Amino acid sequence: MDYSTFFTNRSTTEITADIIGRPLTYTAGSQTMGGYIVEAEAYLGKEDRAAHSYGGHRSLANEGLYRSGGTIYLYAQRQYFFFNVATQAGNEPQGILIRAIEPVWGIEQMLVNRHGKGGVLLTNGPAKMMQAFGIHDLSWNLHSLQASPFTIELDSSHQRPARQIVRSPRIGVNQSEREWADKPLRFYVAGNPYVSRMKKRNWRTDHGWQ
């Protein structure tokens, strides 16, 4: 399967659930870094109060959402960067925010990029993950995944099965519009320590994998 097929043809909610447990990697020079996706959120386009494309809002900054499925949408907030992938056909501005990975590959390099912050602090949040990869600009915004140093493994034989995938409201969305703020559009591996805001008492020794 190719990226444009994977990121279209199904609802964004379904795609988000299906991306949990798949390897995400980023290669810089000869160094590959990454791990298993343990947390992601769906943003459902013009109707979604929490989406950057709410109400059809379109600008240079959020152009990526309007591109076809499989296009990288990078977004900067303050000094932090977020990694999103557009879903659906062009002009249907939906997407997925990858929020956290369980690190597996290139951990040494990610530790350096994170200035020594190890353990769960290495990648348990969207901006931490990007910092671990060493990304400090929007260079890869609007590129297709296909033609980028980012890889999401689509072969399901490499997808790590979770014991349970939990749905919850999205993190950090404005509560003034309850209807959309409360929708369970965040997906994560139950008990995985690298999920953002996961309480230590809820960690599982198997990290939530089967």
Structure tokens that stand for 181 in this block: 């703020």
- DSSP 3-state percent helix, strand, coil across the chain (nearest 5): 25, 30, 45
Specify which residues 27 forms β-bridges with. 32
Q: How far apart are CA 104 and CA 119, in angstroms?
A: 12
- Which one of 28-36, 150-158, 165-173, 182-190 is the stretch in contact with DNA (CB under 7 A)? 165-173
> Pick from 12, 71, 84, 192: which binds DNA (CB under 7 A)?
84
Instruction: Considering the complex, state which of residue 1 and residue 60 has its C-beta at the smaller distance from DNA.
Output: 60
Residue that has been written with the tokens 């602090």 in this structure: 121
CA distances from 149 to 34, 128, 170, 206 (A): 11, 18, 27, 30
Q: Is 70 in the site for DNA (CB under 7 A)?
A: no
Q: Is 201 in the site for DNA (CB under 7 A)?
A: yes
Instruction: Considering the complex, state which of residue 50 and residue 162 has its C-beta at the smaller distance from DNA.
Output: 50
Q: How far apart are CA 89 and CA 107, in angstroms?
A: 35
Q: Is 61 in the site for DNA (CB under 7 A)?
A: yes
- Which one of 19-27, 124-132, 143-151, 152-160 is the stretch in contact with DNA (CB under 7 A)? 124-132
Q: Which residues bind DNA (CB under 7 A)?
A: 41, 43, 50-52, 57, 59-62, 65, 75-80, 82, 84, 95, 97, 114, 117, 121, 125-129, 131, 170-174, 176, 196, 199-201
